[in-house]
């Protein structure tokens, strides 16, 4: 455990959440109610709270809501302008017959229209169904058939991946951009429809439990399942924006995540807007130089992204970072894949700031465990639970486990953004609550004496040796702390006796060449830092590891490699 014992001092003692222990002890989610107009008016809609409430405030109306910059297109949209644009979008959808509760699928890149549509759908009570922008035809078809999508908003380029003739519920296609051909049956142009739509909108007031999102993730069988999240999620979005992202007056947040991910639609849009904070967006980042140019030009203060982007910064080195003025940065965060201690320290040397890891899932709907800016960071650890969230580590029987004992991460049901149902599959939804009153995440971890969580992997990735249970993430962290190892993925494999052992797939740094001596040294290195039973019994060197678009290692592909099975289309295994 030596690689996990170091502690970084608190980054910001003046953070919004200054006294974590005190707030965690006394906080109730009802304490957030007074932050919203519905607490007085009884009228609930996240679109109003995120946009219109600020647009109607003379001190906030002309403040930037969204900044977009990509190539020749550059836009800065104020809260007042976003109110009118989202009103027009809502009216456009109503003109096309969209009613409260209808599912509107958004299949768009990171363009302003995506964010306008998010707010417009919410305002009329349509259920937003975001689609990952890299999906191909079968993935789009499966999700739209399941969700019975009535309308899809997409681009002419993406339209070729929408099997229109196989979607019986689809009535209208709204195209963002100029098509090469005359629009076909059911197709309308965004620009034309928006130009005709009125700028005044009668908002659809809903119950707090009314669905806001239908977001898809992979189910146990590999088939997508549609998770329903309510308008009441806004309480969790606002709290985590303040406590974890530490958003405050004058900030510019850049949440660099793929369109269609819940991370994008929550923490690029509704979460910062509820705080009245400007969100920056651009297209897919192709180089670290582009990353730095955006920070410098747009004076980004808070970055929330995935480890891949920080690895790009580390690989480019300090010299590249020094070419740019990055002084506006004050807070860095990461999600979706655990941060190794080495990546945190190396990023800190280059950017002068620690990276704060966060943990949440499509089911939790919001950040639930995090490294808070006013608390020490334990590199390699996920952090502590957010106030209002009771957590535990459970065994297979639902018993709470002691410190440093691996089990499943469980959260006591009842936080605002918790998934409220699975579309058309109530039986599958009940499986999250087999150990009442706990919600079972499917992820494993242990907790140390100070309440910090250390992620171990998915429950089905846990490695069982004669020395006990250990998660692949812990072994991978030790492997990547070796000076020769750039990346590592760990699985179990059966030896000739049928006993499952640990195997590592390792990518070396450029200065090192694969050989048996280096392999033995790496194995000995892990043995000395964990235990002989936890160390890999075999290492296979490889040029790259199969990953999701968020950077998570696809261990099921590693297992297929090991057993000589077909991997199929790896692109289809990417995260929702």
Task: Kindly tell me the burial class for residue 322, based on how many C-beta atoms sit within 10 Å of its own C-beta (0-12, 13-18, 19 or more).
Answer: exposed
- Asked whether the predicted pLDDT for residue 575 surpasses 60, the reply is no
- Asked whether the predicted pLDDT for residue 465 surpasses 80, the reply is no
Residue 477's H or E segment, with its range, is helix 472-480
CB of 517 closer than 8 Å to CB of 555: no
* pLDDT at residue 459, rounded to an integer: 66
pLDDT digits (tens, 9 = 90+) for 6-38: 778 887 778 999 999 999 999 999 999 999 999
CATH architecture, domain 462-573: 2-Layer Sandwich (3.30)
Across all residues in the chain, what is the average pLDDT? Answer: 90
Domain over 6-30+32-36+44-447 is classified CATH 3.40.50.12780: yes
CB atoms within 10 A of CB 516: 8
Which region among 4-18, 99-113, 168-182, 344-358 has the lowest average model confidence (pLDDT)?
Answer: 4-18
Can you read off the two tokens belonging to residue 364? 């939790």
CB of 326 closer than 8 Å to CB of 300: no
Q: Cα(217)–Cα(480) distance, rounded to whole angstroms? A: 29
* pLDDT at residue 340, rounded to an integer: 85
- Asked whether the predicted pLDDT for residue 145 surpasses 70, the reply is yes
- Asked whether the predicted pLDDT for residue 170 surpasses 60, the reply is yes
pLDDT cut 90: percent of the chain above it: 72
pLDDT band, residue 220 (cuts 50/70/90): low
Q: Cα(299)–Cα(293) distance, rounded to whole angstroms? A: 10
- Asked whether the predicted pLDDT for residue 1 surpasses 60, the reply is no
pLDDT digits (tens, 9 = 90+) for 234-279: 999 999 999 999 999 999 999 999 898 899 999 999 999 999 999 9
Domain ranges of the chain: 6-30+32-36+44-447, 462-573
pLDDT band, residue 576 (cuts 50/70/90): very low
């Amino acid at each position: 455990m030596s690689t996990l014992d170091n502690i970084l001092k608190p980054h910001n003692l003046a953070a919004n959440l200054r006294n974590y222990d005190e707030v965690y002890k006394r906080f109730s989610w009802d304490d957030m109610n007074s932050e919203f107009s519905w607490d007085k008016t009884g009228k609930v809609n996240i679109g109003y709270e995120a946009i219109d409430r600020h647009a109607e405030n003379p001190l906030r109306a002309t403040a930037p809501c969204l900044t977009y910059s990509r190539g020749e297109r550059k836009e800065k949209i104020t809260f007042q302008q976003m109110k009118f644009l989202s009103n027009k979008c809502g009216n456009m959808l109503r003109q096309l017959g969209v009613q409260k509760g209808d599912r509107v699928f958004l299949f768009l890149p990171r363009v302003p229209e995506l964010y306008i549509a998010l707010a417009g759908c919410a305002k009329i009570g349509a259920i937003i169904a975001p689609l990952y922008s890299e999906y191909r035809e079968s993935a789009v078809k499966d999700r739209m058939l399941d969700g019975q999508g009535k309308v899809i908003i997409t681009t002419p380029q993406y339209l070729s991946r929408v099997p229109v003739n196989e979607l019986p519920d689809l009535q209208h296609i709204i195209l963002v951009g100029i098509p090469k051909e005359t629009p076909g049956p059911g197709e309308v142009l965004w620009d034309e429809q928006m130009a005709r739509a009125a700028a005044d909108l009668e908002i659809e007031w809903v119950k707090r439990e009314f669905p806001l999102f239908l977001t898809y993730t992979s189910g146990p069988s590999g088939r997508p399942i549609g998770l329903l999240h309510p308008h009441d999620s806004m309480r969790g979005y606002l709290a985590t924006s303040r406590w974890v992202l530490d958003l405050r007056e004058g900030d510019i947040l850049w949440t660099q995540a793929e369109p269609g991910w819940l991370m994008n639609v929550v923490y690029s849009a509704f979460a910062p807007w509820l705080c009245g904070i400007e969100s920056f967006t651009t297209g897919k980042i192709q180089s670290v130089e582009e990353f730095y140019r955006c920070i410098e030009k747009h004076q980004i203060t808070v970055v929330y992204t995935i480890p891949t982007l920080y690895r790009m910064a580390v690989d480019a080195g300090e010299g590249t970072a020094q070419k740019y003025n990055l002084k506006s940065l004050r807070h860095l965060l990461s999600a979706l894949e655990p941060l190794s201690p080495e990546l945190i320290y190396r990023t800190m040397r280059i950017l002068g700031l620690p990276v704060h890891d966060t943990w949440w899932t499509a089911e939790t709907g919001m950040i639930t465990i995090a490294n808070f800016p006013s608390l020490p960071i334990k590199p390699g650890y996920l952090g502590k639970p957010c106030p209002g969230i009771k957590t535990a580590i459970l065994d297979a029987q639902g018993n709470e486990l002691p410190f440093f004992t691996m089990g499943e991460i469980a959260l006591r049901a009842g936080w605002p953004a918790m998934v409220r149902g699975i579309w058309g599959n109530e039986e599958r939804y009940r499986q999250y609550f087999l150990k009442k009153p706990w919600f079972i995440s499917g992820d494993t971890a242990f907790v140390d004496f100070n309440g910090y969580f250390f992620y171990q992997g998915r429950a089905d990735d846990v490695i069982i040796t004669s020395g006990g249970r250990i998660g692949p993430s812990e072994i991978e962290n030790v492997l990547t702390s070796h000076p020769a190892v750039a990346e590592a993925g760990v699985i179990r494999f059966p030896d000739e006796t049928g006993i499952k052992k640990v195997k590592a797939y390792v990518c070396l740094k450029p200065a090192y060449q694969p050989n048996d001596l280096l392999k033995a040294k790496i194995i000995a290195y892990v043995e000395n830092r964990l235990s002989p039973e936890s160390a890999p019994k075999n290492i296979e060197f490889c040029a790259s590891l199969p990953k999701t678009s968020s950077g998570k290692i696809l261990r099921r592909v590693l297992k297929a490699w090991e057993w000589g099975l077909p991997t199929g289309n790896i692109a289809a295994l990417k995260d929702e």
